[in-house]
Amino acid sequence: MKYSERPVANACCRSAKRDRRRIVLGLSQIFRELHRRMVNRYPRCPKAGLVLLVLSVLGATPGTVYAKETLTWLLRDFPPLTIFAGPQAGQGAIDKLMPELIARMPEYNHQIMHVNRARGTQMLQDPDGFACDPTLLWTPEREKTILFSIPTYATPSNGVTIERRKDALFKPFLTEDGHLDLAALLASNTVKIGIVAERSYGSVVDKILGATTQPDNLILHYGNSAVGSMLQMERMDRFQAIISYWPEARYHAQQQGIPLTELEFFPVKGAPKYQFAHIGCSKTDKGRAAMDIINREMRVLRTTKLIGFYAQWMVKREEYLRDAQTFFDEPEK
């Protein structure tokens, strides 16, 4: 599916702003329709685990014909950032951001591809590819092969989600302030924990997982809608806990009809309250050129749009908005 819009170049400021709003509105409607049609119409490939959505934004000036590069945006089913199916499909925080950002990048055609984490990583590391992922945590290992933007949003850090009926297994490892000593829990060899393959959970959790002497107690999930699937597996006693963002686990629980009173979330001992995400792109000349534009636009969009989009999904919305006032006060890396 392609989308064309008349150019806004060489227009006066007021007209340009008005036209941009029209473009963003049109793109937002297309994103919602693409989520609805494509997810329902095309089954995910069981091997690759992806659904392809194509959206070309043609912004050339009248009479100008030139070949544009196609930038592929890699999106995972990652509520509440991106939502692929259900009544809220296309209404995630990043779902709402993408039309805004794409409208500000008329230099490119834009293609949206649904992938799982493992496939997304593979595509970002392809030296011949030209792709970006808008929901990446920075890690030293990833930086070797992936180009990272400025911080774009902050999310409450990953923690451990359990069924409340299994609370007794975890109480011995809780600190006085309710944080879970994940390292001690893993060392006890008393539980199995579900994690998403190739996902970074932030430096603190990643270090604990990498250093555990009981790696067989970490159950890796490689498929789509990983956290939603792992919640179901947890209820079938395949393992006793999962590591995830609480807003993500909470969303999937509500979609599956799991009462939130039956779940409990523990922040991890030593992890910060928030962790910052970035847009990651192919570490190539094309990726660097695109990143210059992305950084320029996200310096504005991260505060004027994305904080509000994400705050809508926070349990403690007002607290998040207060904290967000200082998210980007630190010098950029």
The answer to whether the beta carbons of residues 83 and 95 sit under 8 Å apart is yes
Domain 2-155+275-324 in CATH 3.40.50.80? The answer is: no
Whether residue 35 is predicted with pLDDT greater than 60 in this model: the reply is no
Measure the CA–CA gap between 98 and 183, rounded to whole angstroms.
37
Q: How confident is the model at residue 28 (pLDDT cuts 50, 70, 90)?
A: low
Whether residue 16 is predicted with pLDDT greater than 80 in this model: the reply is no
In a 13 Å sphere around the CA of 77, the CA atoms on its Cβ side amount to 25
Q: How confident is the model at residue 279 (pLDDT cuts 50, 70, 90)?
A: very high
DSSP code string of 41-78: HSPPPTTT--EEEEEEEE-PPTT---PPPEEEEEE--B
Mean pLDDT on 173-197: 97
Whether residue 11 is predicted with pLDDT greater than 90 in this model: the reply is no
Whether residue 7 is predicted with pLDDT greater than 50 in this model: the reply is no
* Residues 158-267, CATH architecture: 3-Layer(aba) Sandwich (3.40)
Mean pLDDT on 184-205: 96
Whether residue 284 is predicted with pLDDT greater than 80 in this model: the reply is yes
Whether residue 322 is predicted with pLDDT greater than 70 in this model: the reply is yes
pLDDT (0 to 100) of residue 59: 44
Top-confidence residue, 33 or 9 = 33
pLDDT (0 to 100) of residue 329: 83
pLDDT (0 to 100) of residue 144: 96
The chain-wide mean pLDDT, for the chain, equals 85
pLDDT (0 to 100) of residue 117: 87
The answer to whether the beta carbons of residues 24 and 59 sit under 8 Å apart is no
Dihedral over Cα of 107, 111, 114, 116: its sign: negative
The answer to whether the beta carbons of residues 200 and 137 sit under 8 Å apart is yes
DSSP code for 159:
E
Whether residue 31 is predicted with pLDDT greater than 90 in this model: the reply is no
Regarding pTM above 0.85, the answer is no
Give pLDDT tens digits for 97-146: 999 999 999 999 999 999 988 899 999 999 999 999 999 999 999 999 99
Task: List the structure tokens of 286.
Answer: 């094309």
Q: How confident is the model at residue 310 (pLDDT cuts 50, 70, 90)?
A: very high
Give pLDDT tens digits for 60-92: 444 445 689 999 999 999 999 999 999 999 999
Measure the CA–CA gap between 30 and 43, rounded to whole angstroms.
20
In the block, residue with structure tokens 């997982």: 209
Measure the CA–CA gap between 272 and 268, rounded to whole angstroms.
9
Measure the CA–CA gap between 330 and 97, rounded to whole angstroms.
23
Top-confidence residue, 12 or 96 = 96
Domain boundaries, the chain: 2-155+275-324, 158-267
Whether residue 292 is predicted with pLDDT greater than 50 in this model: the reply is yes
Annotate 295-310 with b (16+ C-beta within 10 A) or e (fewer).
Answer: eebbeebbeebbbebb
pLDDT (0 to 100) of residue 26: 60
Whether residue 56 is predicted with pLDDT greater than 50 in this model: the reply is no
